[in-house]
Structure 1
Amino acid sequence: MTTGNVRITLADLRGNARRRRKEQRMKATFFAAAGVSVVIGGLILFVLTRGAIQFLRQIDFGQLKDSGWFPRRDRFDLTTLLVASVIMGLIAMVVAVPVGLGTAIYLSEYAKPRVRSVIKPIIEVLAGIPSVVVGYFALRFIQPEIVERLFDPRSNKSMLAGGLGIGILVIPIMASISEDALRAVPHPLREASYGVGARKSTTTAKIVLPAAVSGLVAAFVIAVSRAIGETMVATMAGGPDGSGPFSRNPLEGGLTLTAAMTNAAGGTDQAVKGASFNALFFLGLVLFLLTMVLNLIGDRFVQRVRMKY
């Protein structure tokens, strides 16, 4: 191949050999980083699966259906933990979704740049608040000042207080990710809506939100996973320490998957061997699979409704 009086060879198109070697090294480094992540995830799954199998071999399957979670008595009612986790998660999302989404809509569509530059960093800082702080807040304020004043609970801990605390913890995550998804919607879509006489509220509801639905679903899935996986708030404000009976009443205490694992591993019901110890791996595997299923469902939904511009 020639250009004028200059002859270009295949070696010239390949570029400098030193640069190619550098690119190969960078590619290998990034591949190794990705490989390490996959290996770590595989090891976690392997350890959880091995411990869960040992646990199931040590018990009768009938022990997984009982009147409560009492590991020291070899009573491992899984329903007790799942129901409490779902109840607290639902309460948390009832708080986090409207507040977080409303905050995101305001920042993306209504707030002036100066206001957004102040509020947005504050929300992102709130997302980093230690969960133990929110747990203490739920235990010392939400439970006595809100739950006990509005209702008549029979204990000083409740799934309602734990769920509200988790909801407060999840709001910044929901707001931040949703706001990023809304701002990613191309501005010409808004201008086209305004051009035909639509108001800002109509544009937001009929154009922006549907266009950003994939990002909003992703925010919801991440928020749900965070709520179900929350430990300290559920442990401190949500229910009994280490063991407890089955309950579906939000005004009563409830033991979540994460709270049961925390108490069994090093808390009030510490386990060191036997089925009580291997139950930690079983619960960890259940939580891992539950989170994975939520993410797969969310990803499948996002792929179906995603809009391309």
Structure 2
Amino acid sequence: MSVLVAVEPDCWRRPVLAEAVARGGGTVCTPDEASALVWAEPTQAHLIGELVDANPGIEWVQLPYAGIEPVVDIVTARPAVEWYCGKGVYAEPVAEHALMLALAGMRGMATYARSSDWTAPEGRNLLGASVTVLGGGGITESLLRLLEPFGCDVAVVRNRPTTMSGAARVVGPDELSQVLPCTDVLFLALALTPDTAGIIGSAELAALPDHAWIVNVARGGHIVTEDLVEALQAGQIGGAALDVTDPEPLPDGHPLWSLPNCLITPHIGNTPEMGLVLLAERVTANVALRVAGAPLVGPVYLDLGY
């Protein structure tokens, strides 16, 4: 079975993704000849629908995004096309970044990095800590493996509770309020959907111990920013380490920038250079699967929001 694949638009990522298509047994072609499209430029999502509409031979599309927020309307309007996203593709570097943020927060780097003199000691151990992770996807699976040497007591909160290696217990969202009071570190690693937007607000922040750190590598919209600012200013929690914010980019002068118990990285848990290699692996795999007539990895489920 031959697979003709267009890799569009022309950009610095295109040569690497075109090679990935070839490794999977596909043939790179122009959009008018293609039965598949690999989208190469994440910043130009608005062009995807136009290109698919202009080339009715395209049966399936490989998107570069782990989440589908940039393309929900595009995908919804074209139900006859098969859509595949990058869910799980970037899990390893994002989990590594989450671990780094947790360690930096708990061990006082927010204070030490800003200090201009020798300061008093502060910090808590991740070793043996009580950890709660919101979300049960690829990032969580990778994070659970990275946490194993620290001997943490880990609870995972996810929509469909099921046993996960490295987690002491896995519970549903209705039990979130029960696990927060004993949480030393709260990781957010879940998809942003209408049900999860604002999942951490004033009530959840108040339920956390006053030493707890929040690490968000998911989406900024999971946290009610105004409530987080108030909790940090009041010392209600230990701190927040954020790779994502709401709004994003975080404007100059926003209170989060200057809070001494807040660490911010500019959504670089997975940089473009890191991500391209990983996306290329997914492209190769899915092209090979289509050549073999097998189901592809990472189908978009609009009803679930990812």
Q: If the length of structure 2 is used for normalisation, what is the TM-score?
A: 0.27
TM-score between both structures, scaled by the size of structure 1: 0.26
Report which structure shows greater RCO (CA 8 Å, sep ≥6). Answer: 1
Mark the structure with the bigger radius of gyration: 1
Structure with greater proportional helix content? 1
Higher strand share: 2
